[in-house]
Every structure is written in C-alpha cells, then in structure tokens.
Amino acid sequence: MAIHFTLFLNITLSAVVSGERLSVSGNHFLFKGEKVFLSGGNLPWIKYGYDYGNNQWAGVKAQVAKQLQMLRDAGGNSLRLWIHIQGESSPLFDENGYVIGTDSQGTFINDFQDMLNLAQSYDILVIPTLWNAAVDFDKYHRLDGLIVNPAKLTSYIKVVLTPLVRAVKGHPALAAWEIMNEPEGLLELEFNKDPCFNTFMLVTSGAGWAGWKYSYQHMLRFINWQADAIKQEDPEALVTVGVWNPKSNTNSFHMFDHYSDECLYKAGKRALGKLDFHDFHSYSFEGEFDTVAAFVHNCSDYGSTKPIVVGEFWKQQGGNRTTNQLFEYVYRHGYSGAWSWDLVNNGPDQRAGIAHIRNYTGNGKIHIDI
C-alpha cells in the first residue's frame, strides 16, 4: 500500500510540476504544449451504475483494460465513461438522502485511481461523467435530492467530490471532469422571464424526453457548485457538461446558451463554477440532422471562444453517413474532439472510424504519450 501510494504521489507531483496535462488554449486543446484532437469513444459502463466502489471495479477491470487496449491499437487517445449515473451504488446515502460516504465498502476512490492508472498505461485520457439525466431511473430520489436540495448537494461535495478530486489531482490521464450527461432529459419546459432559465423555446425541441422534473435554475446550480468545488481543489482541472443538442449551449441560430459563464454564476453564485469546453451530442432523426446539429456546421459557426467536442454520435443516427465519414467530418470542420457511442456495443465500427483519422494532423495531433 505504501509503495502504491508513493508511486501515485510521484505521478501526480510530476504532472503538476511539468504541466503535462490536457489544457485549453483559446478554442483548442493542448497536451504537452502541442495542439491535440481528442479522438476516441464512449465506454459508458460495463455494468450500469455498478463499476466503481464496493469492490466492483475488480470485476470489470479486465474488460475495461481490453477496451483500452483496442482503443489504443485503433489510434484513439481518449475515453468518456460514466461514474455515479443516478446513485445506483455510489455515493452512499443515508435514509434521508444525504451523502454519508463514497460507497458502503470504501473502495470507490481507490477504484477511481486504479482506473486512471490503467488508462495511463495505455496512453488514454479519461473524461469521467459523474451523473446522468438522459433517463429517470432514480427510484430512491438520490440524484433528485442533490439537484433540488442545496444541503444534500453540499453533503456530496464535502464527503465525496472534494476528496476524490484531491486524490487524483494532477493525474496525467485525467483529461477533464464532466458534471452531467444530457441535463436536458429531465428539464421542466416552461416560461421564465430570465433567459438563462427560460425553457419555453425548447418545448418542441425534444428536451424533457425523460420527464419534466427540474428547472434550469436548479440544474445549473447543481453544475455550478460541482464545477466550483473541482476547481477550488484543482485550479487547473477542466470541466464540461454533455448537452443533448447544441440548441441549449449556443447563442447562434436564434438559440440561447444556458451554460454560459453568466448563467452558471447566476444560478449558483460560485465564481469558479464555469465550463472550459463544450460537449455537443449529435444524432439525426429519420435520416436528417436538425439545423443546429454539429454535422451540418463548422465549429466556428457556433461563435464559441471555447473548444467544442462532439461527445456522442453513431452511424445508426448518423444522417446516412458511415462512421468513418462522421469522424472525418468532426476532425476537418474545426472541432476539438470526437467520442463515438459506444465502444462496448458498437466497438468494431467505432474503432474503424477512430483508425480512419489516426494519422490526421491538420487540426491537432492524435497520437499522444502520457
């Protein structure tokens, strides 16, 4: 245990001193001082909600290692994966919905550290996604309490998030933190005089598909507080949110950016609780992408000063394009990364797309050594 801790501490301190972490420069990413394009996929889970904590990592580690190896062999450099989801097995809640521990058996942080060490051994950067709002399986109202009750959210930040960030601070394989996957799935769609919280314009957009549960004010506070807590502990950490469609995250095309620095601060009043880059998801409907989708625009069309990653897409809803064409489009149209969905169920096709662009260099290098 002492040897493992010493090795991990040396890795962490080395990363902090040398600056060998993913960072943002303008509207693109840097790694070890060079512009990089994040190419990879989603490995959202092996066992939905049961991959980390409670000694569960030991049962899925070999499968994750195999996915990391195949991703590296295909030429990928990054991986998006899901952590708590909706609180199925972590963190540990009491009967009133307050967080009282990382997990019941106390292995969660060690599992997370080991996952990052494993990813580093394969030269893969990791983007952990903490929560998910694309479905409503929250039968015990655990995630619900964190979103609507500031005291419960504070308990999570104090007991789990801050200690976790402290434990992995500076790890070279930790690319960024994603607070939530698709918050729009559980949005209430209603008029609010404040444009930051007004969801009326999204009524016919598809938002709220999993249930009309939360105001944008509650959802943005949830994001703002966690982003702030991460940056309080690790000022160089990158933070994002995975939005279901650019419609909620841009001021272009007569849309409104609800995740702007201004809106996040207005909701939560915590100054560091801002996003460093955007993660747009892009799926077609009946063979066609909508007019705001990433696959019908250049990155510059969104008018953002931050990097944009296309964080979910696949051939099944890919506007009648192949996976190779989708990866190439993202690379050649100025975006900063592409993570296809998903490596477990669509692995060969996804890896073919990743391999298709592995030697591209015009929009940032893809091969990295961590």
> pLDDT tens digits for 244-271?
999 999 999 999 999 999 999 999 999 9
Asked if residue 368 belongs to a domain, the reply is no
Numbers of helices and strands, H then E, in the chain: 10, 13
* In the predicted structure, residue 350 carries a pLDDT above the cut 90: yes
pLDDT, position 94: 98
pLDDT, position 8: 42
* In the predicted structure, residue 192 carries a pLDDT above the cut 60: yes
* In the predicted structure, residue 49 carries a pLDDT above the cut 80: yes
CA distance 91 to 52: 10
Residue 235: both structure tokens together: 């000022």
Residue in this structure with the two tokens 């309080």, named with its chain if needed: 232
What is the number of structural domains in the chain? 1
* In the predicted structure, residue 142 carries a pLDDT above the cut 70: yes
* In the predicted structure, residue 13 carries a pLDDT above the cut 60: no
- Residue 293: strand, helix, or coil: coil
Residue 132: both structure tokens together: 């998910």
Helix ranges restricted to H, 162-309? 162-168, 216-233, 261-268
pLDDT, position 11: 43
* In the predicted structure, residue 131 carries a pLDDT above the cut 80: yes
Asked if residue 10 belongs to a domain, the reply is yes
pLDDT, position 2: 39
Q: How confident is the model at residue 14 (pLDDT cuts 50, 70, 90)?
A: very low
* In the predicted structure, residue 5 carries a pLDDT above the cut 70: no
Q: Which domain holds residue 63?
A: 2-356
* In the predicted structure, residue 16 carries a pLDDT above the cut 90: no
Tens-digit pLDDT profile for residues 201-234: 999 999 999 999 999 999 999 999 999 999 999 9
Residue 169: both structure tokens together: 């601070």
* In the predicted structure, residue 331 carries a pLDDT above the cut 50: yes
Asked if residue 145 belongs to a domain, the reply is yes
Asked if residue 181 belongs to a domain, the reply is yes
CA distance 89 to 87: 6
Under DSSP, the state recorded for 333 is: T
pLDDT, position 226: 99
Q: How confident is the model at residue 20 (pLDDT cuts 50, 70, 90)?
A: confident
Report the sign of the C-alpha dihedral through residues 309, 176, 72, 281, in that order: negative
Asked if residue 155 belongs to a domain, the reply is yes
pLDDT, position 19: 56
The active-site residue out of 178, 188, 233, 312 is 312
CA distance 328 to 288: 18
Give the least confident one: 15-19, 74-78, 172-176: 15-19
Tens-digit pLDDT profile for residues 102-124: 999 999 999 999 999 999 999 99
Active site residue 312: yes
Active site residue 184: no
Asked if residue 362 belongs to a domain, the reply is no
The active-site residue out of 178, 182, 184, 233 is 182
Asked if residue 365 belongs to a domain, the reply is no
> What CATH number is associated with residue 16?
3.20.20.80
Asked if residue 367 belongs to a domain, the reply is no
- Residue 127's H or E segment, with its range, is strand 125-132
pLDDT, position 188: 97
